[in-house]
Amino acid sequence: MELSSLNAVQNYAASRPATAPKAGAGGIGDAAMGIARDFAATLRETETTAMAAMSGGADPHSLVHALAQTELAVETAITVRDKVVEAYQEILRMPV
């Protein structure tokens, strides 16, 4: 069996497309952007509902429901932030 640099390059080139990311597959950045958009949309909907309730255009039940959704979204965002900070601190504690 002959091991030459040309043979290694050809084998690498042949296997490269198998390891390339798929065109439609989103990474963690796309997922984070989607979550951020959903969070912002929840806040906007709650603000709209609150303004409508203050002007008499929405019932109190829908306002309470919107505020509960916002509270859950904020608590989730805080929990995720705390986990990310905790993971970052754990990485910093790793020996080099």
Token pair for residue 19? 């390891």
Query: What pLDDT does residue 21 have?
Result: 60
Exposure of 93 in the CB half-sphere (CA atoms within 13 A): 6
Give the per-residue pLDDT at 35: 87
In this prediction the pTM is 0.63
- Tokens 């084998």 appear where? 11
Low pLDDT (below 70) residues in the chain: 1-9, 12-26
Dump pLDDT digits (tens) for 3-25: 566 666 677 666 656 556 666 55
Token look-up 């990310």 returns: 84
CB 74 within 8 A of CB 65: no
pLDDT score, position 46: 92
